[in-house]
């Protein structure tokens, strides 16, 4: 990883941890240059990257303003990644890395409730972005009945769920999620531009249509410094909240 990316990642983590107040200023570039032992040009590249990601903003004559805020969504609400992002005033993005038909794994057969025959799964690997910042690697398996609809979408489509409902009347009405922490594989590291074994937050999900058929089985891997999930418990029940850092 380039040194300026490492500096940007470190500053991003510090912002999330509260080392710099939201609405406050980052240390001057000269001070950051001394702190990291690099040239001001390298520091400037790191700051420009953070600005593109929406974490900071330049202020003429005064430095860099911290902009990052925490956003949240209850996963009990059936919203896609893109729908959630737009509801919080953020710009969702997606970029297809690969797409192919293949035989389903044993896990996918269970998740899709036997809805896919051998060779009938469409696997799509995407990078997902918030405000043009890569935050997640998404691997999704689609069963045979919906695969042609997915293949017809643009590789730049930011909301697959929204497109399915708008163009085909397929609406996601139920979902199941499981969450754990994992270490980045070699492929994860290459696509997310992090070191191998870097911590990732994994969300395994299955979504269903109104008629009970599975729409997708997904494996989402979030960068550790970009997303968190919060559980809120009460006597009436428990809800899970997604937060963008």
What is the H or E stretch that residue 19 is in?
none
Q: Which residues of 200-233 are buried (b: 16+ CB within 10 A; e: fewer)?
A: bbbbebbbbbeeeebbbbbbbbbbbbbbbbeeee
What pLDDT sits at residue 225? 67
Q: Which CATH class is domain 3-66?
A: mainly alpha
Task: Assign domain 71-244 one CATH number from 3.40.50.2300, 3.40.50.2000, 2.30.130.10, 3.40.1410.10.
Answer: 3.40.1410.10
Of 35-39, 193-197, 223-227, the poorest mean pLDDT is in 223-227
Condensed to tens digits (0 to 9), the pLDDT of residues 167-199 reads 999 998 888 888 899 999 999 999 998 889 988
Average pLDDT over residues 121-133: 90
Domain range summary for the chain, segments of one domain joined by + = 3-66, 71-244
Residues 147 and 99 sit within 8 Å (Cβ to Cβ): no
Condensed to tens digits (0 to 9), the pLDDT of residues 131-170 reads 778 889 999 999 999 999 999 998 888 889 889 999 999 9
Average pLDDT over residues 108-137: 82
Confidence of residue 235 (pLDDT cuts 50, 70, 90): low
């Amino acid at each position: 990883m380039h040194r300026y990316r490492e500096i940007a990642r470190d500053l991003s983590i510090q912002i999330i941890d509260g080392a710099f107040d939201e609405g406050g200023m980052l240390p001057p570039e000269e001070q950051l240059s001394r702190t990291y032992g690099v040239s001001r040009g390298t520091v400037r590249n790191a700051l420009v990257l953070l600005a593109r990601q929406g974490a900071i903003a330049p202020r003429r004559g005064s430095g860099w303003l911290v902009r990052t805020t925490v956003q949240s969504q209850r996963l009990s609400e059936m919203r896609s990644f893109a729908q959630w992002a737009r509801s919080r005033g953020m710009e969702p993005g997606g970029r297809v890395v690969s797409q192919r038909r293949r035989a389903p794994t044993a896990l996918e057969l269970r998740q899709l409730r036997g809805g896919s025959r051998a060779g009938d799964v469409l696997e799509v690997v995407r990078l997902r972005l918030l405000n043009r910042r890569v935050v997640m690697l998404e691997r999704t398996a689609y069963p045979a009945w919906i695969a042609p609809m997915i293949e017809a979408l643009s590789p730049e489509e930011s909301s697959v769920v929204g497109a399915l409902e708008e163009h085909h009347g397929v609406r996601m009405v139920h979902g199941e999620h499981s969450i754990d922490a994992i270490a980045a594989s070699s492929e994860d590291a290459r696509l997310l531009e992090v070191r191998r074994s870097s911590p990732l937050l994994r969300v395994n999900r299955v979504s269903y249509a109104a008629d009970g058929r599975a729409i997708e089985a997904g494996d989402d891997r979030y960068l550790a410094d970009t997303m968190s999930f919060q559980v809120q418990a009460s006597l009436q029940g428990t809800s899970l909240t997604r937060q963008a850092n």
